[in-house]
Chains A and B, each alone.
Chain A
Amino acid sequence: MSSSLKPRWRASLSVRLILSVAALFAAGDAAVLTTAYLTLASSLRQRDRAEIRAELEDLRGAYEEGGLPGLRGDVEQAGAQAIPFFVRLSAPGGARLFERLPPSPRPFDPSSLDVASRSLKDGALLQVGQSGAEREDVLERFRWIAAAIFLPTVLLSVLFGLWLLKRVVLGPVRRLHEVVEGVLAGKSGSRVPVGRDRGEIESLGELFNRMLDRIESLIAAMKGSLDVVAHDLRTPITRLRSGAEAALSGKADLAGCREALADCVEEADRVSTMLTTLMDISEAESGAMTLRLERVSLDELAAEAAELYRYAAEGKGVRLKVGAPSGAAALCDRNRMRQVVANLLDNAVKYTPRAGEVEISAVLRAGEAAIAVLDSGSGIPQEELPRVFERLYRGRAARSQRGLGLGLSLVRAVVSAHGGTVEASSPAGGGTLLEVRLPQGSSGIMRAQRQNAL
């Protein structure tokens, strides 16, 4: 599996990067050397031209002062010093009056000659030239030197690029690769080592570690709730089985059998309710829950739920109060919110002792609509408060009591799907306060749905 994940040679990031670096260096080198070469060539040519022009002026002066002999004298004199000039004087008709070839070790090549010419006063044409061979020699030497510089620098740049890649880019990438392979192979605890300097790749590694942490905690939570679910299912299923077995044993009379069957039905209903609630929770948490949004008065929701629990509370000797109307309303799924509020109230009534009090009220604050349920129960210890929304959590005090422990998890899941929040706190006066806050606009829900979609 890992071999198929190895990058192909041609697609390999390192090969492409090194080739790019080398190409960049080569292009830079070439540009610098070419510019130097062109500048040198042009300045050499200018120097030569200036020399030729000066010689031409010189000889013109000599000719105009002393005629052909003057010119000849000047050239001969210069010739003694072996000046490298070609000189020619032509009559107006084209007849050659004087010509001198430069002394040169090489055979005379007219095509390599730079020539300047000038018409003189008497109509004769004076031409002075110089061979470009010397200049060509210098440039050729330069070309050799340039080549000698170019190849090693490109080679050096490739080596430097390799080193840079290994150190800065590929090292961290390879470590990331190793960690992923490790996780795939089952080492879920491995993490990318992250240094102090936070480059793009380092922060990618850090992000990757955070993702692994999140996945690990999700898996742990899932496994945890699966364990609790298995445990909580085992109890009703054991009752179901033993009840049915007792009825089948033959010792039971008809009434006993009916009793056992009724127990079975009740236990089956319990299992069914539990599964339904678990499905609702996971549907809400995964963002798959369809919400039919409408503007709902929270006062109405509170009153409705209070009405549902009125007699149950009364039967338990718990006073159920409804707060004064607040005018709070929120965009939500009415049926789902009814379920949320019923669960809050169910919980409060269940855990409030006789002669206690439960108050439900809708609250309107700036930009926020809330439903608060306050009970006068024994309260929840500070350290347990955040845990009451965990799946199947039952506080120490509540553990003995019968209940599915899923109610508040469902509340949180459905409220989050609406883009709202739910919080448990212990007010100064004692008891427990559960508050569901809903955003008044639709933006919260859209944000929640986007998040869930991710």
Chain B
Amino acid sequence: MRVLVVEDDRKIASFLVKGLRQAGFAVDCARDGEAGLGLALEAPYAAAIIDVMLPGQDGLCLVGKLRERKVSFPVLFLSAKRSVEDRVRGLRAGGDDYLTKPFAFTELLARVEALLRRSPSAVQASSLAAGDLRMDLVSREVSRGGRRIELHAREFSLLEYFLRNRGRAVSKAMILENVWNYDFDPQTNVVDVLVCRLREKVDRSFDKKMIETIRGVGYVLKP
């Protein structure tokens, strides 16, 4: 899948391009609005990551022009401004998501993938699995290696989130947002504590540890 990056800061741009290529995307990069518009009209992209503040024509203007010309791939805005109004302005201009700088690359990747998945094909699975771990979403039963594991509600949500993102790193902010629906950072290590409890139940009595900590990034559930 081909993704377009429009970002004027050279370092951020190269870091985005590298990261996205590592994640398996083909990436084109433009440094300003005009070049971005040219590329977007030429090639069919699956998604675009566009900085709001660009030299010359800004990101909002660029997306406005794309939408006028019926170019409809999903757009993720990047911005240093984090107020609600800026977010709303971005979404009104035709963006599909909005991420503020500084951001964790894990989160950017998760959001881009979510944008790409946003097609109506997603069918709700009734169960999730990774390795010998099974989760039944209907009866809300969890087992590993045939052994039943009792989980509290939040532990269950966290494990469900891990399983849905198995093999992929998730940040603490992503966990807070998806498990508790909190979009700010409570300074105490509530996420660490919950992950720790989940590990007790899921990994402790097994040789193979599934939940790994990636320091500075977050956690990953490995099948």
Contact = CB atoms under 8 A, between A and B. Distances in A.
Contact of A312 (B82, B188, B215): B188
* Chain A binding surface, main DSSP class: helix
B183 interface: yes
Given A265-B216, A273-B185, A342-B184, 18 more contacts: A259-B215, A262-B215, A262-B216, A263-B216, A264-B216, A266-B215, A266-B216, A276-B185, A290-B84, A290-B85, A307-B154, A308-B190, A311-B154, A311-B197, A312-B190, A314-B193, A315-B196, A349-B188
B186 interface: yes
Interface of B: 82-85, 102, 154, 180, 182-190, 193-194, 196-197, 215-217
* Chain B binding surface, main DSSP class: loop
A88 interface: no
Nearest to B179: A308
Interface residues of A, number: 35
Nearest to B190: A312
- 8 closest pairs, A vs B, by CB? A265-B216, A262-B215, A262-B216, A311-B193, A342-B186, A312-B193, A346-B188, A312-B190
A309 B187 contact: no
A426 interface: no
B182 A342 contact: yes
A421 interface: no
A343 B83 contact: no
A279 B82 contact: yes
A209 to B, nearest CB: 36
Contacts of B85: 290
Contacts of B180: 308
A443 interface: no
Contacts of B186: 308-309, 342-343, 346
Contact of B189 (A268, A312, A407): A312
A261 interface: yes
A181 interface: no
A312 B189 CA distance: 7
A268 B102 CA distance: 9
A418 to B, nearest CB: 16
A406 B56 CA distance: 37
